[in-house]
Structure 1
Amino acid sequence: MIELRGNALRKKTINEILEFKKEYPLVKFNFILNEKNDESVSYVKMLEKFVVALGIDYKIISISSVEEGIRYVESCKDDRNNMVIVARPLGFDNEEKIIERISPLQDPDMLTKENIGDLVFGDLNKLPGTAKSVISLLNNYEIDVKGKKALIIGRSISVGMPIFLALQRMGAFCSLAHSKVSVADIKKASLESDIIVLASGQRNLIGSEDISKKAIVIDCGYHSDGKGDIDFVPDCEYFTPVPGGVGPMTIASVIKSGYYLRTLKNDN
């Protein structure tokens, strides 16, 4: 079995970010969080650690309501160098309304309707961080997905769905499993798949007996015990370990996307 590890690719991405930073030194990342939500705080801590290490300008904004978040997002639109990252989940009802107000040119998470639309039409530069990490790993290890059967388990707008769209665009024969699909059907599809992407956030929906020895298993999950959506090492051809697989690339991918957006022209 070959482990697909993201550390070397992360270093390459960091070098690319530093080159972007030379050309666009005024780019600033605005991290919106809810201090009362542990997941939101944890995500911002990881983002902060990364940008501090690279000397990238940033600001942390703690909000207590959706309305407060919307006001801050609107205030960022005056400067193209502002990038806005909402540390989801914030724990508010209708928190997606904050994302709806972000300019697509200031959306490194690639979650605005405009950026999602571009992805649907084939622009893989508009992949969210985790999804971009998965595709980058496959490309880095020169894994050709054309014609392969791919099963994506989970359909979130930031992970499962964009990975499905990307693999489809790259020529894979894709199936998307979600909460309305029976576990029995997911297990059956898994055993028949060449590529299995675990992105549901649920532990062990499939077992070792549901994975072919020739499969490529990509685990996007991360749980409190430090393991992924499966807590065993599958007997397969390729596997992303947790930690060390997809994870190291995710934050770097988001920050690189911010600089990529800065290179785009504003057509408005």
Structure 2
Amino acid sequence: MALMSGTDVAREITEQTTKRASEFEQRTGRKPCLAAVLVGEDPASVTYVKMKRNRSAKAGIESRFVHLPEQTTTEQLVAEITKLSEDPGVDGILLQHPVPKHIDERAAFEAIAPSKDVDGVTMHSFAAMAFSEPGFASATPGGIMRLLEAYEVDLKGKHAVVVGRSPILGKPVAMLMLAKDATVTICHSKTENLDQIVRTADIVVAAVGKPKFITAIKPGAVVIDAGYNEGNVGDVDFEQLADSASLITPVPGGVGPMTIALLLEQTVSAATRRADLVDVSEVVG
């Protein structure tokens, strides 16, 4: 068993992003700008946004913060995001999710201009991932792909099982892995004979949101734990599976740092592209 350190890989990505942000500022006279939108006072969301803003500042990215009250309506949130989409001083937009239950989250996501969707949450970005067209990857799936690349995991011809089907994690990571010639099976918490299916996988991505949900794998499999539950527990039973896996991500220190690194990298790419400085030919995945 070997650990896949997202912390180490993310540090390398962020160092390069910081250099690119500095070059952008030298050429344009301003820093790349990431606007973060938070609705309500959910403690975890407040913490996440604060962390992302701090990381942005360290990378030389301006951070704009829009904090809306819990009772904000869908229409009000869409209006605020539309303003940011139309603001030439904003390069990337992050809507911290989940939003309060009374808000139509999909409508809010779709108010983000595709050119500023650095978190990869819009239908436009999903289509770009599915068709291997230029665009922005969903930050966590994109981070997972970069982590696999950093550890030289060749997906071609391999069987990848994704446990989870959310539109910003399970489904997009399946599309990105398919684009790398993996054979992909998408499962979820209601899949029958799930353990049997997971045991056939060369690569397992756990993204179901249930602590220690994955308890059995094929010996030698690569295990990516994209879950984060109370008590720093992932979706994989790490203690039970660590010795069986050839590579496995820890929680924390695995997928989490990669998500933020990709968000910052894509913000600088968005700024560079919008400023028309260079032809940024990044293809998602």
**What TM-score do you get using the length of structure 1 for normalisation?**
0.91
CA drift of 1:263 comes to 3.0
Q: Using the TM superposition, name which of 167-176 and 229-238 deviates more.
A: 229-238
Q: Quote the residue 1:221 is aligned against.
A: 227
| Identity over aligned pairs, percent | 28
Structure 1 residue 124 displacement after superposition? 7.3
Give the 5 Å matches for 1:27-42: 27-42=32-47
> In structure 1, which of residues 95, 99, 103 is the aligned counterpart of residue 105 of structure 2?
95
CA contact (8 A) 1:80 1:106 kept: no
1:152 and 2:158 aligned: no
Q: Provide closer, same or farther for how the CA distance between residues 197 and 190 of structure 1 changes in structure 2, counting only shifts above 3 A.
A: same
Which aligned pairs between 1:175-214 and structure 2 lie closer than 5 A? 175-182=185-192, 185-207=193-215, 210-214=216-220
- The match for 2:21 is 21
**1:29 Cα deviation (Å)?**
1.1
2:183 to 168, 173, 177: 173
Equivalent position of 1:53 in the other structure: 58
CA distance in 2, matches of 1:264, 1:55: 17
Which structure 2 segments of 5+ residues have no match?
277-285
How large is the Cα RMSD of the aligned pairs?
A: 1.9
Q: Does 1:63 align with 2:72?
A: no
**Whole-Å separation in 2 of the counterparts to 1:266 and 1:53:** 22
Paired residue for 1:44, among 42, 45, 49? 49
Contact 1:46 1:251 (8 Å CA) reproduced: no
Report the AA paired with residue 221 of structure 2. Answer: A
Helix, strand or coil: the match of 2:64? strand
2:139 maps to which of 126, 129, 138: 129
Deviations 1:2-28 (A, max 9, x none): 111112211211122112212333321
Give the CA deviation at 1:113: 1.6
Contact 1:222 1:242 in 2 (8 A): yes
CA contact under 8 A between 1:28 and 1:58: conserved in structure 2? yes
Counterpart residue number, 2:3: 3
Whole-angstrom distance in 2 between the partners of 1:103 and 1:33: 17
Distance 1:158 1:24 in 2: 29
Q: Within 5 A, what are the aligned runs for 1:225-240?
A: 225-233=231-239, 234=241, 235-240=244-249
Q: Which amino acid aligns with 1:24?
A: F
Q: Which residue of 2 aligns with 1:120?
A: 130
Report the TM-score when normalising by structure 2: 0.86
Which moved further from structure 2: 190-199 or 171-180?
171-180
Structure 1 residues 257 and 137: alpha-carbon distance in aligned structure 2, compared to 1, 3 A threshold: same
Q: Which moved more, 1:32-41 or 1:3-12?
A: 32-41
Paired position in structure 1 for 2:259:
250
Letter of the 2:271 partner, please give it: R
2:36 aligned partner, one-letter code: F
Q: Would you identify which runs of 4 or more consecutive aligned residues in structure 1 move more than 4 Å?
A: none
Q: Deviations over 1:139-184 (max 9, x none)?
A: 01111111111100001111111110011110111100024422xx
Number of corresponding residues:
263
**Matched letter for residue 117 of structure 1:** A
Mapped to 1, the partners of 2:33 and 2:247 lie a distance apart of 37
Change (3 A) 1:204 1:8: closer
Mean CA deviation greater in 136-145 or 91-100: 91-100
For structure 1, the residue ranges without an aligned partner over 5 or more in a row are: none
